[in-house]
Structure 1
Amino acid sequence: MSTELSVMESQSDAVQVGETLRLRRQMRGMSLKQVAEPAGISVGMLSQVERGLAAPSIKTLRAICSAMDMPVNWLFHRDNNLENQANEFIVQSNSRRSLTYNDGALIKELLTPDTQPQIQMLRFLMEPGADSGEPYSNADGGKCGLVLRGTLGLELDERQFVINTGDSFAFPARSMVRFWTVGETTCEVIWVVSPATV
């Protein structure tokens, strides 16, 4: 007998979680198989979860989310008041999802919903000393940003730039990029990518 606990309290919970997982998978451009295999479940099981027909255990949900680089708490970060829920076009300030790196030195807040996979806007909060790490790139698309406060160091294909408050930038997604905080002031950046990657 399994000792795993189900996190679904009602059919509506299962449908909501399934829809969130489906949108995330589609936003990442992943097939059912590409998610199911690393999650250790069958394609049929994943399909049922996405349609709200199965109530997976916490362990299974964590595995599915891990396969899509998605924190499991994103599944339940919803306002129960229907009048205040963000819809397919709007992300309310109190419903933003976030990813944390470098022990909290870099926080990425998602400002756009997963229903729009062709574009994604994020808010970066970077403490002094925050660094994105090794240069990376994406296959296609473009990226741009605006520094709201502080100073951003930006490396593009081994060329380094200093982006000050009020300055903006844009570059092809295929460029090798790295970024970091310059100075002792928190850096806040609005970062836009197309297509969505986070």
Structure 2
Amino acid sequence: MGKNPASTSAPRSKTAARKPAAAAPAPAAPLHEGIGQKLRQRRKVRQFSLSEVAARANISIGLLSQIERGLSAPSLRSLRQICQALEMPLGWLFESEDPQRAGEEQVVVRKPRRRRMVLGAAGMTKEILSPDTVPQLQLMRMIIHPEGRSGDSPNQHATGAKTGTVLAGRLGLEIDGRRYLLDQGDSFAFHATSQYRFWCEGDVDCDVLWAVTPALY
């Protein structure tokens, strides 16, 4: 009996179908380009001009401009000088972004990624809770250790306001010569043009949530 042509399966191709090659990932931006963006953003927050920062850092305006635009790779010495001029820790420049949360840093600050400033001489630690993308305001957490203080002389700023609440401990606050003692749960607000200073009252840490306009750091 002859074979039924319909029952005969077609021969398989010896060559397997090939999947399209995956697109190569886009090359990462050079490290110095990201550093330049952070320096420029910090300068804008501090409201410094290029010439002011260059003079304070003892570098040329042209070099600073090239660093900010990612056109020049700065030396470690130059970075230290610029960071000192901007009053920022050098380590802030090398904080890497989480690729799983790319882009959210424009809006969200995750707890492990808070930037910290340990002010040993003043006896306090500051954590920056808000992103740099909104320089009109800044939210901080300040932990003031016993005997820690903002300084013996009052501070004052040309514009803005300050407000906050005591999360733990006791805060001493002086505004235009008048002193206040704030306990846990108490809040405050005052114009930045006022002469002010603050300190930890007592022998336990004072934990304060502090907001300022505009951003300071």
Question: In the alignment, is the contact (CA less than 8 A) between 1:137 and 1:174 conserved in 2?
Answer: yes
Question: Match for 1:92 among 110, 121, 144?
Answer: 110
Correspondence 1:38-57 to 2 at 5 A: 38-57=56-75
Aligned equivalent of 2:49: 31
C-alpha separation in 2, matches of 1:153 and 1:39 = 35
Correspondence 1:18-167 to 2 at 5 A: 18-79=36-97, 81-84=98-101, 87-103=105-121, 105-133=123-151, 134-167=153-186
Task: Show CA shifts across 1:111-141 (max 9, x none).
Answer: 1122211101110011111111121110011
Aligned-pair identity (%):
44
C-alpha separation in 2, matches of 1:96 and 1:87 = 11
Task: Show CA shifts across 1:32-67 (max 9, x none).
Answer: 111112212221211111111111000000011111
Deviant stretches of 4+, over 3 Å? none
Task: Show CA shifts across 1:130-183 (max 9, x none).
Answer: 111121110011000010011100000110000110010000001111111111
C-alpha separation in 2, matches of 1:36 and 1:89 = 30
Residue 196 in 1 paired to residue 212 in 2? no
Q: Considering only aligned residues, what root-mean-square deviation do their CA atoms show, in Å?
A: 1.5
Aligned equivalent of 2:188: 169
Counterpart secondary structure, 1:56: coil
C-alpha separation in 1, matches of 2:202 and 2:105 = 39
C-alpha separation in 2, matches of 1:50 and 1:102 = 30
Aligned equivalent of 1:5: none
Aligned equivalent of 1:7: none
Highest Rg: 1 or 2?
Answer: 2
Task: Identify the range of structure 1 (96-105 vs 140-149) with the bigger mean alpha-carbon deviation.
Answer: 96-105
Counterpart secondary structure, 1:121: strand
* Structure 2: gaps spanning 5 or more residues: 1-27
- Between the two proteins, the alignment pairs up a number of residues equal to 188
TM-score (norm 1): 0.90
Question: In the alignment, is the contact (CA less than 8 A) between 2:122 and 2:149 conserved in 1?
Answer: no
Question: In the alignment, is the contact (CA less than 8 A) between 1:78 and 1:95 conserved in 2?
Answer: no
TM-score (norm 2): 0.82
The change in CA–CA distance for 1:174 and 1:33 in structure 2 (over 3 A counts) is same
Aligned equivalent of 2:23: none
- Residue 23 of structure 1 deviates from its aligned partner by 0.3
Residue identity opposite 2:187 in structure 1 = S
* Structure 1: gaps spanning 5 or more residues: 1-9
